[in-house]
Amino acid sequence: MPIPNAESRTPNAMSSPPTIFRAHRSSSDFEIGWSDGQTARIPFRTLRWHCPCAVCVDEMTGVRLLQWDRIPEDIAPVQLEPSGNYAVKIVWSDRHYTGIYTWDRLRQLAELPAS
């Protein structure tokens, strides 16, 4: 089940890179930690659903194009690539590779209540 949309939240300031960023295949989630001590676990499927790219979100309207039920339940990252000092690009097992997740976006998603 999708969690609430994080696009409407605006960050107060640019987030620092996480101090911990691990993919846990056994629990199908990312463990993310920041220097202020906040840590979060974000399921792979949830993070895939929140992909901000133009394939997943209409650039003009902001409407999410990706459908939750089209994301495989066993979705997993196959490659992580740094994108400058501000983000990570995730290549997913469903062959999707255009999403860049900023540290701000990851922090916002980490602060959403789990569903």
Domains for the chain: give ranges and CATH numbers. Answer: 20-111 (3.30.2020.30)
pLDDT score for 20: 95
Which pLDDT belongs to residue 113?
79
Mean pLDDT (10-residue bins), the chain, 115 residues: 41 73 97 95 97 96 97 97 95 96 95 75
With residue 23 as reference, give the H or E element that holds it: strand 20-24
The pLDDT of residue 108 is 94
Asked whether 63 and 19 are in contact (CB, 8 A), the reply is no
Half-sphere exposure of 20 (CA within 13 A, CB side): 16
Place of tokens 């056994």: 26
Q: In whole angstroms, what is the distance from residue 48 CA to residue 71 CA?
A: 8
Measure the CA–CA gap between 55 and 112, rounded to whole angstroms. Answer: 23
The predicted structure's pLDDT at residue 65: 97
What would the two tokens of residue 66 be?
A: 């990706």
